[in-house]
Amino acid sequence: MLSETVITKNKNGKPEARKLVSYGRFVIYGYINPGTLENSSDKQRIFMKTEDGAILSYFIIPIKGKRMLMIEAENNPDKQIWDSSNQKPVELEKLLERKL
């Protein structure tokens, strides 16, 4: 029997349980103008590494209100992204491996 702690209600008021699909590490990055360093888009991208080592990638695109649309993207973690807190590029794959 399921624990009451995992039971919730859907928008129609019917009970449903939250079931773990996967867990792991993730990296989210956005896009900036290279000249001004200001945001060039509201679009973001997320790379996720699951517990079994699989890497998933999605674009996160804002739509109406506070909603977001996720679209499956090319899975190529062989990229560098700008780390503005350290003012240097970092390898995406290394961020996915980093222990917290």
Using one digit for the tens of pLDDT, what is the confidence trace for 1-43? 889 999 999 999 999 999 988 888 999 999 999 889 888 989 9
Among candidate residues 43, 61, 47, 40, the one with its CA nearest the CA of residue 97: 47
Report pLDDT digits (tens) over 42-99: 999 999 999 898 999 999 999 988 899 999 999 888 889 999 888 899 999 999 988 7
Instruction: Say what the pTM is.
Output: 0.81
86-96 tens-digit pLDDT: 889 999 999 99
- The Cα 92–Cα 79 span in angstroms is 6
First and final CA of the chain: distance in angstroms?
Answer: 34
Domain boundaries, the chain: 23-97
**Spatial contact of 60 and 68, defined as CB atoms under 8 Å apart:** yes
